[in-house]
Structure 1
Amino acid sequence: MSSTIAPRRRTALQQWRHRLPGILMGGPAVAVFIAMFVIPMILAAVLSFTDWNGYSLNFQFIGWENYAKAFRSPRSVQAAVFTGVIAVVGTVLCNAVGLTIAALIAGPGRSNTLLRTIFFYPYVISALIIGFIWSAMLSPNGAVNGLLTGLGAPAMPFLTEPAFAKASVIFTIVWSHFGFNMILFLAGIKSVPAEYYEAATVDGASRWQQFRSITLPLIAPVFTVNLVLTLVGLLKAYDVVLSLTDGGPAGSTQTIVYQILKDSFANSSLGFGAAQSILLLIVTAVIGLAVTVVRRRAEQKATD
């Protein structure tokens, strides 16, 4: 009996020795993930059921009141609607512009290399800085209106009229983000074997036919990555709004994250802000999962 137990113990000990390097290497990353994401998320979930103001240690559990308030508040609903518009319109435009430019400058040459650098550069700049730059350019006395009035055209209310302000926010976000999508599409286009295009050329296929029948199906996984990353990222849009319009005019360009931070700190209502954060987390996870599933099915159809 003891002769059979000893080999089992040695086998288990050998397995632990084999796993130990991986545990030691991955342990710090797991610890950081737990400390920076899991624990704060649990605390936020608990605080979302309280009336904590962020300063006092005295708070009461108020149940689902914060969640009900998030759905009743006109400001929260307005911010949610505008965030949805940014996410949908911004995702479509970022991917459309990124794919178009990637297809145009995918070839070799110094000019294409330079253009890739120029188009990608806005993504490297801080979103806050980009917002301040475009705020200076689109303000009533900014460079764009100065150019328009110099040409005899009327000045435009880019940041002072709600509809124009919303369009300005979306334009600025797309301008600063499409470079990332372009780089991913470029990587996907570069990975397509050249033999496919050579065979299509011999068969007499035009550039558009090659792009539609060869390039698009083979870079379908890149579409999935771009759509999910862009959509999830734009649902958290905040920096550009803060520096470009500061949520104005009349709160028309406030996003969910902007509203969460305003309620949490400016209005000293961290319990309500925590509830909004949990709702945003759930919505983002559901949308990201749904888009991934739909795109995976589209990929399978494209490659069949």
Structure 2
Amino acid sequence: MLTDDVLTSAPRARVHDAGARRRPSVRWGDRVAGVVMAAPAVIVFIAMFIIPMILAFVLSLTDWNGYSLRFDFIGFENYQFAFRNPRTIDAAIFTGIVAVVGTVLCNGLGLALAALISGAGRANTVLRTIFFYPYIISALIIGFLWSALLSPHGAVNGLLGGIGIGPVPFLTDPTFAKATVIMTIVWAHFGFNMILYIAGIKSVPTEFYEAATVDGASKWQQFRSVTVPMIAPVVTVNLVLTLVGLLKVYDVVLALTDGGPAASTQTIVYQILKDSFAQSKLGLGAAQSVVLLLITAAIGLAVTFARRGAERKVTD
């Protein structure tokens, strides 16, 4: 006779075998569903990034002027010219200065303000709105606004003249103009960094601050030893986004100084657009764009990996 255990185990075995037979098809169905759901994003990525990047590289090997249907393949002559052109080198140097100085100032100012106004309260809410507001304004509008304020006959020099101070060459002296461009860019962008830092600070568990307070830590010590280590990932995101964004800046320059005086405030993207359209050298502009893309990607990855190492040291 069959025991009760044998009778009950037989149906279980059949169910187990049926489930085992269905598993490959279930896994295959999950894979198909995953591919179908990811397909739109992959198609958009290929259409909007991969294909244009390939076309830009092909175009960089030609002397196309942007209008004629005829062009010749000239190899890497556009790249050679770009690296030998003093205007491009000067624009690249100024772009590097803008990116480095702007990243430091945007993140330093954003983090400091986030630490001061991250608490609850109507005043802090109003201040966060005020500081973030410039970021949502068009960069062209910001450039025109500050150009009107800082021009030789603008409002700022008018006020300075009223107290006996001569006109300051904010936009007419190369050194002043460079500083003005950087300060305007920082004014327009630091609000975004501040909001991200506020979000990071609010995500820190209050128990850590309570424990630090019990240990007798001051507000500065809590900020340095608790807040900054806990928001290390936010710092990484802010640094990468700001640095990559400032490497591509041109709209503020276009509206504020138009690259002057004496081409002292031209950035690399401004130079690319000028070569591509004003001088009808689409091939040269494409070559400069490819180089900028590679440099931006390399810098972004380098900063990300460096910050990941710093994050691991903090967590360890």
Relative to the length of structure 2, the TM-score reads 0.91
Superposed counterparts of 1:179-198, under 5 Å: 179-198=191-210
Q: Partner residue of 2:115?
A: 103
**Using the alignment, how far apart are the partners of 1:99 and 1:303 within structure 2?**
20
Unaligned runs of 5+ in 1: 1-6
In structure 1, the residue matched to 2:5 is none
Residue of structure 2 equivalent to 1:65: 77
Residue from 216, 231, 244 that aligns with 1:232? 244
Q: Does 1:291 align with 2:312?
A: no
2:199 counterpart of 1:202: no
Task: Tell me, in whole angstroms, the C-alpha distance in 2 between the residues paired with 1:101 and 1:292.
Answer: 24
- 1:141-196 deviations in Å (ceiling 9; x for gaps): 11111110011111100011111111110000000000010011101111111111
Amino acid aligned to 2:91: A
Provide the C-alpha distance between the structure 1 equivalents of 2:55 and 2:103, rounded to a whole number of angstroms: 31
TM-superposed deviation, 1:16: 4.5
Question: What's 2:8 paired with?
Answer: none
Structure 1 residue 15: deviation in Å?
4.3
Q: Which amino acid aligns with 1:140?
A: P
Task: Specify the alignment match of 2:7 in structure 1.
Answer: none
Aligned to 2:134: 122
How far off is 1:17 after superposition? 3.5
Shift of 1:58: 1.2
Once residues 226 and 46 of structure 1 are traced to their aligned partners in structure 2, the CA distance between those partners, rounded to angstroms, is 33
Query: How far apart, in 2, do the equivalents of 1:271 and 1:68 lie?
Result: 12
> What letter corresponds to residue 57 of structure 2 in structure 1?
A
Opposite residue 112 of structure 1, the aligned amino acid is N
Deviation larger for 275-284 or 48-57: 48-57
Question: How many residue pairs align between the two structures?
Answer: 298
**Displacement of 1:32 after TM fit?**
1.9
Q: 3-state DSSP class of the match of 1:57?
A: coil
2:13 paired residue number: none
Question: Residue 50 of structure 1 aligns to a residue in which SS?
Answer: coil
Q: Deviations over 1:231-258 (max 9, x none)?
A: 0000000110011011111111000100
- Aligned counterparts of 1:202 and 1:295: Cα–Cα separation in 2: 31
Write the letter of the residue equivalent to 1:276: Q
For 1:276 and 1:254, the matched residues in 2 are separated by 14
Query: Distance in 1 between the 2:28 and 2:172 partners?
Result: 65
Q: Distance in 1 between matches of 2:21 and 2:256?
A: 65
Task: Name the structure 1 match of 2:30.
Answer: 18
**Shift, 1:226, TM fit:** 0.5
State the Cα distance separating 1:36 from its structure 2 match: 1.5
Which residue number corresponds to residue 97 of structure 2? 85
Q: Which runs of 4+ in 1 moved over 6 A?
A: 7-12
Q: Tell me the equivalent position of 1:221.
A: 233
Q: 1:205 to 1:71 in 2, by over 3 A?
A: same
> Are the structure 2 counterparts of residues 201 and 252 from structure 1 closer, same or farther at C-alpha, using a change threshold of 3 Å?
same
Q: Which moved more, 1:242-251 or 1:24-33?
A: 24-33
1:243-297 per-residue CA deviation (whole Å, 9 max, x = no partner) reads 1011111111000100001101110000000000000000001100100111111
Alpha-carbon distance in structure 1 between the residues aligned to 2:153 and 2:284:
38
Rate the CA distance shift 1:9–1:198 in 2: closer, same or farther, 3 A.
Answer: closer
**Inter-CA distance 14–279: structure 2 relative to 1 (3 Å threshold):** same
Q: Indicate the structure (1 or 2) with the bigger Cα radius of gyration.
A: 2
**TM-score, normalising length from structure 1?**
0.94
State whether structure 2 residue 258 is matched by structure 1 residue 246: yes
Equivalent position of 1:257 in the other structure: 269
- AA in 2 matched with 1:228: V
Q: Which residue of 2 aligns with 1:4?
A: none
User: Which residue of the partner structure matches residue 3 of structure 2?
Assistant: none
Distance 1:208 1:73, change over 3 A: same
Deviation at 1:99, TM superposition (A): 0.4
Q: CA deviation at 1:25?
A: 3.1
2: CA distance between counterparts of 1:212 and 1:15?
Answer: 48
Q: 2:147 aligns with which of 131, 135, 143?
A: 135
Aligned to 2:285: 273
CA distance in 2, matches of 1:9, 1:280: 53
Q: Structure 1: how far apart are the matches of 2:312 and 2:83?
A: 38
